[in-house]
Amino acid sequence: MDIRQKTEPAVWSALLISVAFFCVLLVNVIYWYATCESTKFFVFGFLACILLGIIIYAFKMNIIDRMTSEVVFLSALSISCIFFVFLFPPFSVPDEGHHFLSSYWLVDCITGESSLTDSSSIPLRQDDYLLCTEWASNEISLHSYQSILDHFELFNQNDEIEVIATEGFSVGSENIVTKIGSVLGIIIARILNLGAYPLFYLGRLLNAAQFVMLSYAAFKIIPTGKTIVASVSLLPMTLHLAASYSYDGGIIGLSMLLIALLLRAISNDKPFSIKEMISIGAVTALLAPCKILYTSITLLLFLIPKSRFRNVRDKYIFIISLILIAGVSIIGFRLAGIAGLASSSTELDYRGIESGHFYSLGDVINNPIGTIALFFRTLLVNGDFYASTLVGGSLGWFQDSIAAPYFIVFLYYLLLLIGAQKCRNDCDDVQLPTKVVMTSIFVLCIFGSMVSMFLGWTFTYEPIVMGVQGRYFLPVLIAALFAVRWKSVYINQPTYGLVLSGVCTLNIFYAVGLVGSALSLV
């Protein structure tokens, strides 16, 4: 009797909260249906309500916590990625047009239709050419969704070839390893002679599948903080990039996998195995040339206990070898780009239609105080923008009309913070040295991103660093979350189900508002 009296208020509270969430979503669906006057949106909203009902039911019945956490995560991530693949029209993800054409160029190189040394123009099937030049646009609107319905054909009906001019691609700048999925998707689509839109979406799907595999591997390997990996993987910005042609999805996956491998190496007390060394070395070699600043993750190497090696000498031989591997990989792909940052050209630099002179290392040396002031000014002016775009508060090409309200951004951060803390099923603490290194990795990533854009995207007359976005910090967000795993905080409940269902619920609310506002734009 006493047990029932104690549990009934909790059950009723959970029921009332669930009903409230469902009613709010239903009102949201009705509001956007009345605003955009689209029967297609009503179908979308109805499916969203059903999906939310399933999530609420699974959470209330403790299905999420009872099932194997790996199965739940893999299912949630796979479904979410597929959802995001079709949620956004072609080229509505930042720089997706560039990434699509570079993937297409790599496919043409494989088939012998293009050259690795000349990518100034590439041949496309005529419908693929029309998709790039006429059918698709960067804006998410009723027109962009309608264009898909108007031009969708399952199989390609036109064998004519069109040549499209590009800004030029190179093996070193396109992060080929992270494009395996999209390249494979285009190859399969062309073998099957699929139409332009099926080809495009198949490339997206396989790129998302590549991210899912990397993220799932990181989730399995990481010894503690699985909720952190799951929550970061399911953020709208992560899904937005992973379910597109962007190479950022692959970079985020590789970064999380490397952090997971190194944390396992730190927490393990068995002798360091050859398999561990090879896996850490391979992931480091793949990640390093993608974005140099993410090699800061290798700072965790110094925390691997000496007891795992035969002696101190073996430990430092391994560390030096790994640094050399990363260095060789970077030099092999990025030498020309690094040399370009150090030079100061008298020719004009271009940023779209704008022209001027970008800052150089010489400007930093000549005015170090002014440079430091410029960086601090940038953080003060754009700090809220970085925080919002880190989790996905503004998707697409920064369309104000589809941006999430700030209270949703706040709720994402609240769930991330809850997921980072110790709880009943994840009570391992993170030692202070690890927290210090994790904090250093995140700070170095922010600083490195700003330096990169300072030297390669900011004109000398501009008072702040231009071009930095919060999504650049996503690959090391789990490092920041480990750093805020406070020793004195312990949640006497498993938080995995709460955080997972909470992030997925917010994603549904966000998607309904995004599609509704997009369809209201003619």
Q: Are 395 and 514 in contact (CB under 8 A)?
A: yes
Is residue 351 located within the same domain as residue 485? yes
Residue with tokens 């804006």, as numbered in its chain: 139
- Does residue 164 form part of some domain? no
Q: Domain check: are 358 and 333 in the same one? A: no
pLDDT at position 168: 82
Q: Are residues 308 and 363 in the same domain?
A: no
Residue whose tokens read 């498993």: 494
Per-residue pLDDT, 103: 96
Q: What is the pTM of this model?
A: 0.92
Helices 69-87 and 226-233 pack at an angle, to 10 degrees, of 10
C-alpha dist (Å) from residue 319 to 162, 166, 263, 275: 50, 41, 15, 15
CA 237 – CA 239 distance, rounded (Å): 5
d(CA 201, CA 136) in angstroms, rounded, equals 13
Is 391 within the bounds of a domain? Answer: yes
Cα dihedral 35/38/44/48 (nearest 10): 20
CB atoms within 10 A of CB 291: 22
Among 287, 319, 342, where does a domain finish? 342
Could you tell me if 490 and 427 are in contact, meaning their C-beta atoms sit under 8 angstroms apart?
Answer: yes
Q: What is the Cα–Cα distance from 484 to 17, expressed in whole angstroms?
A: 28
Residue 441 domain flag: yes
Backbone angles phi, psi at 426, to 5 degrees: -155, 75
Cα distances from 510 to residues 177, 212, 236, 237, 407, in angstroms, run: 31, 21, 9, 12, 11
pLDDT for the residue numbered 335: 59
Instruction: Report the pLDDT value the prediction gives residue 1, as an integer from 0 to 100.
Output: 38
User: Among 427, 504, 444, 428, which residue's Cα sits nearest to residue 479?
Assistant: 444
- pLDDT value of position 4: 42
351: part of which helix (H) or strand (E)? strand 349-351
Boundary of a domain, candidates 309, 342, 375: 342
DSSP, res 273: P
| Domain contains 150 | no
Same domain, 357 and 434: yes
**Into how many domains does the chain fold?**
2
Task: Please indicate, yes or no, if residue 285 is contained in any of the structural domains.
Answer: yes
pLDDT of residue 7: 43
Range of the domain at 301: 268-342
DSSP 173: T
User: Which of 320-325's residues contact partners 24+ apart within 8 Å by CB, and which partners?
Assistant: 321/281, 322/280, 322/281, 322/284, 322/298, 323/298, 325/281, 325/284, 325/285, 325/288
Class of residue 167 by CB neighbours under 10 A (exposed 0-12, middle 13-18, buried 19+): exposed
Q: Residue 118 in 3-state DSSP?
A: strand
Same domain, 338 and 378: no
pLDDT of residue 66: 63
The answer to whether residue 486 is domain-embedded is: yes
Structural tokens at position 203: 């490339």
- Tell me whether residue 436 is in a domain: yes
- Report DSSP state, residue 471: G
What gap in Å lies between CA 118 and CA 138, rounded to an integer? 27
Of the three residues 319, 342, 365, the one that is the final residue of a domain is 342
Q: What are the backbone angles phi and psi of residue 348, rounded to the nearest 5°?
A: -70, 145
Strands 490-491 and 422-423: parallel
Instruction: Answer whether residue 478 is part of any domain.
Output: yes
Q: Identify whether residues 355 and 442 lie together within a single domain.
A: yes
Same domain, 401 and 472: yes
Local structure of 288: helix, strand or coil: coil
Residue (of 285, 305, 308) closest to 297 by Cα position: 285
Asked whether residue 281 falls in the same domain as residue 407, the answer is no
Contacts of 213 (CB under 8 A, 6+ apart): 253
- Name the nearest CA neighbour of 233 among 462, 146, 223, 217: 217
CA atoms within 13 A on the CB side of 501: 22
Distance CA 202, CA 219 (A): 25
Q: Are residues 353 and 486 in the same domain?
A: yes
Per-residue pLDDT for the chain (522 aa), expressed as one digit of tens each?
Answer: 343 444 455 455 556 667 777 788 888 888 877 777 677 787 888 888 888 888 877 776 676 766 678 888 999 999 999 999 999 999 999 999 999 999 999 999 999 998 888 888 899 999 999 999 999 988 998 899 999 999 999 999 988 999 999 888 888 778 899 999 999 999 999 999 999 999 999 999 999 999 999 999 999 999 999 999 999 999 999 999 999 999 999 999 999 999 999 999 999 889 988 999 999 999 999 999 888 899 999 999 999 999 999 889 999 999 999 999 988 888 877 654 555 455 555 578 888 778 888 998 888 889 999 999 999 999 999 999 999 999 999 998 888 888 998 999 999 999 999 999 999 888 888 999 999 999 999 999 999 999 999 998 999 999 999 999 999 999 999 999 999 999 889 998 888 988 999 999 999 999 999 998 888 865
Distance CA 246, CA 364 (A): 32
From the CB of residue 261, how many other CB atoms can be counted at a distance below 10 Å?
23
- Whether residues 349 and 337 share a domain: the answer is no
CB neighbour list of residue 9: distance below 8 Å, 6 or more residues apart? none
> For 11-50, what is the HEC assignment?
HHHHHHHHHHHHHHHHHHHHHHHHHHCCHHHHHHHHHHHH
Q: Is 75 helix (H, G, I), strand (E, B) or coil?
A: helix
Cβ(322)–Cβ(298) under 8 Å? yes
Q: Are residues 312 and 413 in the same domain?
A: no
Q: Answer yes or no: do 280 and 389 share one domain.
A: no
